[in-house]
Amino acid sequence: MRFYLDHAATTPLRRAAREAWLTASATVGNASSTHGAGQDARRMLEESRERTAAVLGCDPIEIVFTSGGTESINTALRGLWMSRRAEADAVVLPDAEHHATMDTVSALARDGADVRAVPVDVLGRIDMVRFAEAAQDAAVATALVAGNESGTVNDAAQLGRITADAGIPLHLDAVAACGHLPLSFRKLRGAAPEAAGLVAMSVAGHKIGAPVGTGALVVARTARMTPLLHGGSQQRGLRAGTQDVPGAAAFAAALEEAEAERESETARLRSLRDRLVEGVRAAVPEAELLGDPVNRLPGNAHMLFPGAVGESLLFVLDMAGIAASTGSACQAGVAEPSHVVMAMGRTERDARSVLRFTLGRTSTDADVDAVIAVIADAYARASGR
């Protein structure tokens, strides 16, 4: 029997999303065509855009459907930086960002961007004072709404105010937060100047039960953004190419369902997570919960197991039928210490001794019980005790 505790990597496909995809895929027509079949597809696409916008708190025209978080982040950061590089070249980058952001910024650095690193504290929270200092005269800033590894929730509204005051655009990576925290682009943006403050926000479908390969980027009407793809005027010209109508329909269905159950699921997952953490620490007193103990994603338990090699611990748990992670799934299979853990002031040895358990809508007490039952033995074997 398998016990799945890696929902932050990907979560099971929702029935509503599957059915929406199948229904939409039976409709023949290119949404850019002017004939009746094309307009049927266009109608379905725009209805999905309106439903997505309603959940994310923005105007439908501000929704750009993408293939997921990585594409959304690349589109936002490269597009914003390229549109402003003639007047400013600095990118504000907190130290504990996802690799999709870090690697994009590294590519921009090779193109001439000046990267301004911003530290996080021992709980993984962005240093707002340093963030404000780095934002002065920068081209663009980016930040996580919630840490994909640590689970720590940042003050997104304050990040927006800081960048609005500095007169620069902000991109928020809301991939880990979507479905777990309230996300209103309009409220977070507030009364920011036209092209400053929060102007872009990334979300991904497979984190909320939509198919892999779906997602969205919210782009403010007033944002200045150079497109990455050319060859058509679809989606305000920000993402050229034939639009994925079934993917958009499935994404909208999953997003609506995730939002409808968010409050009840938050309470349920928080209770499960707390029981998991308490059970693990009772079995392994040396274990430590990383990240903010209170202001964190409800299903996230990012734990340090001193002296154990995370990959070995992961292997032992997998042999017991338990799926967890040593960090971001995008880095899975790469034996390197967690940059997030080191950014929080921990040693490289600690950064190799962490596991991330993440719960989702299919998680039950049985998943928690399975981990608690084997964690002491797994830790002993992985640490050579």
The pLDDT of residue 27: 87
| Residue 1 confidence class, pLDDT cut points 50, 70, 90 | confident
Active site residues: 330
**What integer is the mean pLDDT of 277-302?**
98
The pLDDT of residue 385: 65
Angle at 97 between CA 53 and CA 64, to 5 degrees: 25
Q: What is the pTM assigned to this prediction?
A: 0.96
Give DSSP secondary structure letters for 114-177: EEEEE-B-TTS-B-HHHHHHHHTT-SEEEEESB-TTT-BBP-HHHHHHHHHHHT-EEEEE-TTT
Q: What are the φ/ψ torsions at residue 249 (nearest 5 degrees)?
A: -65, -40
| Residue 334 confidence class, pLDDT cut points 50, 70, 90 | low
Q: Which domains does the chain have, with CATH numbers?
A: 3-11+262-383 (3.90.1150.10), 15-259 (3.40.640.10)
Cα 244 from Cα 267, distance rounded (Å): 34
| Residue 115 confidence class, pLDDT cut points 50, 70, 90 | very high
174-191: pLDDT as tens digits: 999 999 999 999 999 998
Q: Decide if pLDDT at 202 tops 90.
A: yes
CB 101 within 8 A of CB 173: yes
